[in-house]
Amino acid sequence: MSTPLRRAPAVLAVLSLLIVSGCAGTPDREGTATPAPSSPSSTGPTAPPDPGVRAAQLVGTLADEDLVGQVLMPYAYGNSASEVSAGSAAGNKRLAGVETPAQMIAKYRLGGLILVGFSADDPTGGNQPTTNVDNPTQVRELTSGLQAAAGKLPVGAVPALIGIDQEFGVVTRISEGVTNLPSAMALGAAGDPALTEAAWRSAGTELAALGVNVDFAPSADVLGANSKVIGSRSYGSDPKAASNQVGAAVRGLQGAGVAATLKHFPGHGQTAADSHKGLPVVTQDRKQLDASALPPFAAGIGAGAWLVMAGHLDVRAVDPGVPATFSRKLLTDVLRTELGFTGVLVTDAMDMAAVAEQPPGQTAVRALNAGNDLVLMSPNVTEAYDGVLAALRDGSLPRARLVEAVTRVLTLKFRLADRPRPEMSTLNSAGHQEAARRAATASITMLRGKCGAAPVAGPLTVTAADGRGTSRDRLIKALRAAGVKVVPSGGKVVHLVGYNDGAGDLRADAAVTVGMDTPYLLGRAKSPVLLATYSSTAVSISALADVLAGRAKPTGRSPVQVTGLPRSSCPAG
């Protein structure tokens, strides 16, 4: 890292590279770039230069060290940019040889950071080594500190990318003090892209207020298997319906100024295995992939998604034995060439078991050579940085490939630059709560039972599988608020089951069984009434209470097939 600075190629060379990738205007008949006009009229105000052109100009001024840093997006320990506990300082020392997130940005000239955390039932919790998300005020102060540190870098005119996995449902990093949407599968059950777009625009506005500008959502995975790691994170099993939902989520998020990320390319829903624990194998042939897995990615790209995340998946029909993260055939030939994606391609977390067997420097270089532009959550930042820098200088990572990646990252940053940050008062605002409520109400699905004023007469006794006490208490409170009599025992039993619960968690005496995650378990329940919320967020529980009270009709339709049950026993109409 003490090697003398070397400069990137001249700006014209970078612009030529951008022409090929479609980032800097369009080629005219002579093959030269025609930049976007600077303003709609000669007398009007001058518009800012095209983000791709601005990125190309900036890349031409950067040293090797800056280029390398811009393609790394690690996590860090500590809930503040510059003041952390002794434990967090020790964690950062192990991870990157520094004590604070701000020092990490400065030392490695980072393109950004991802905020990390975990919650109950989170299938991604295994690769979340810490949490730096406590509450909205803390998150805003943290992101402000991170941006201040990034502003001192040579690329300082552009914002750092601050990302988060805010999918809602079981993968929700920030849950307190913000509007919580129902899960993706719940939105799929509601089946109304307009509701999805409005809900995600509300969520995006709140993320922007917190200083988050990249959301690693939505999941574009079509659920072709009973996958515990994807499950209710998917909009469902129908590629066309999922495509409509994914496009709506992208428009909502990016309409609020937060970059959306389609994941996990080319589709994690086609396998039940978990890439946090090993390398899943996708066995579908290419025709099946084209028909079932790829349509939501194509739809999200058509909606303008600025990022795609590569999945750690062995896709046998395209590049057998090679994780998609490292596959040029998948990332360049399929995603770039066939689907026409020109934005930022980011790896899934590089600390996951599927790709973590090799040294971090080696995996980072492999990912970049395959076509990724951003390396996420390396298990050792120092090794990743040094490995990429060494590969750049010995030619095993072509300079043109790194320049291309950095140009895409900076283009995204210029897209996000100069956007006004919403006020914190937008959090949990009435309009945002209403958007979430409408979506949740439309998602509640009856899979067994008769449509009527209320599915079952009270008084009710609410029970839940082990670990579902919070949901039980929420439902009791919401039912009483809706005027339903709830008794500790002796009433008609409403029983709640959730993520990863099994047949042993069912109750034979339940009058109503409610599935708060994927609805597959309901196929084994004997209750005369079966309802699905697909989500245990407060807004979904409140919508369930309205249905049980007879104040709302369960008009949702299951977006996955449950053995022995219809998609709905209470269709809209």
**Residue 126 pLDDT:** 64
Supply the DSSP symbol for 256.
Answer: T
**Is 70 exceeded by the pLDDT of residue 49?**
yes
**Contact predicate 251/209, CB 8 Å:** no
Tens of pLDDT, residue by residue over 487-545, are: 999 999 999 999 888 899 999 999 999 999 999 999 999 999 999 999 999 999 999 99
Q: Tell me the mean pLDDT in the region 291-308.
A: 97
**Residue 20 pLDDT:** 34
pLDDT bin (cut points 50, 70, 90) of residue 130 is: confident
**Is 60 exceeded by the pLDDT of residue 12?**
no
Contacts of 573 (CB under 8 A, 6+ apart): none
**Residue 306 pLDDT:** 98
Distance CA 74, CA 378 (A): 6
**Is 80 exceeded by the pLDDT of residue 357?**
no
**Is 70 exceeded by the pLDDT of residue 37?**
no
Output phi, psi for 34, to 5 deg.
Answer: -110, 100
Distance CA 186, CA 124 (A): 19
Q: Tell me the mean pLDDT in the region 17-46.
A: 39
Is the Cα torsion angle 329, 335, 340, 342 positive or negative in sign? Answer: negative
The share of the chain scoring above pLDDT 70, in percent, equals 87
Output phi, psi for 166, to 5 deg.
Answer: -110, 80
Tens of pLDDT, residue by residue over 230-276, are: 999 999 999 999 999 999 999 999 999 999 999 999 998 877 655 55
Tens of pLDDT, residue by residue over 191-242, are: 999 999 999 999 999 999 999 999 999 999 999 877 778 999 999 999 999 9
**Residue 122 pLDDT:** 58
DSSP helix/strand/coil, 253: helix
Tell how strand 33-34 and strand 26-27 pair up.
antiparallel
**Residue 5 pLDDT:** 39
Q: Which residue has the tokens 């502003």?
A: 151
pLDDT bin (cut points 50, 70, 90) of residue 44 is: low
Reference 544, options 562, 555, 532, 528; nearest CA is 532
Distance CA 374, CA 384 (A): 12
CATH class of the 11-37+47-417 domain in this structure: alpha beta
Chain mean pLDDT for the chain: 89
**Residue 271 pLDDT:** 74
- Phi-psi category of 25—alpha, beta or left, where left has phi over 0 and alpha has psi -120 to 50? left
User: What is the identity of the amino acid at 376?
Assistant: L
Distance CA 51, CA 347 (A): 23
Tens of pLDDT, residue by residue over 81-124, are: 999 999 999 999 999 999 999 999 999 999 999 999 866 665 66
Distance CA 146, CA 148 (A): 5
Active site residues: 276, 348
Tens of pLDDT, residue by residue over 166-179, are: 999 889 999 999 99
Q: Tell me the mean pLDDT in the region 348-359.
A: 82
pLDDT bin (cut points 50, 70, 90) of residue 39 is: very low
**Residue 144 pLDDT:** 97
Tens of pLDDT, residue by residue over 428-461, are: 999 999 999 999 999 999 999 988 788 998 899 9
**Residue 42 pLDDT:** 43
**Is 70 exceeded by the pLDDT of residue 281?**
yes
Half-sphere exposure of 239 (CA within 13 A, CB side): 16
Concatenated DSSP letters of 219-246: B-----S--TTTGGGS--S-HHHHHHHH
**Residue 35 pLDDT:** 39
**Residue 452 pLDDT:** 78
Distance CA 199, CA 221 (A): 20
**Residue 468 pLDDT:** 93
Where in the chain are the domains? 11-37+47-417, 441-548
Distance CA 414, CA 347 (A): 21
DSSP helix/strand/coil, 422: coil
Reference 567, options 522, 506, 537; nearest CA is 522
Distance CA 117, CA 130 (A): 6
Q: Estimate the share of the chain in helix, then strand, then coil, as percent rounded to the nearest 5.
A: 40, 10, 45
Which of 46-50, 365-369, 513-517 is least confident?
Answer: 46-50
Say if pTM beats, i.e. exceeds, 0.85. yes
**Residue 7 pLDDT:** 40
- Order of strands, sheet of 161-164, starting from the edge strand that comes earlier in the sequence: 112-114, 161-164, 214-215, 259-265, 307-310, 344-347
Reference 49, options 60, 39, 61; nearest CA is 39
Report how far Cα 196 is from the mean position of its chain's Cα atoms.
15
Output phi, psi for 163, to 5 deg.
Answer: -110, 170
Contacts of 524 (CB under 8 A, 6+ apart): 503, 506
CATH level 2 (architecture), domain 441-548: 3-Layer(aba) Sandwich (3.40)
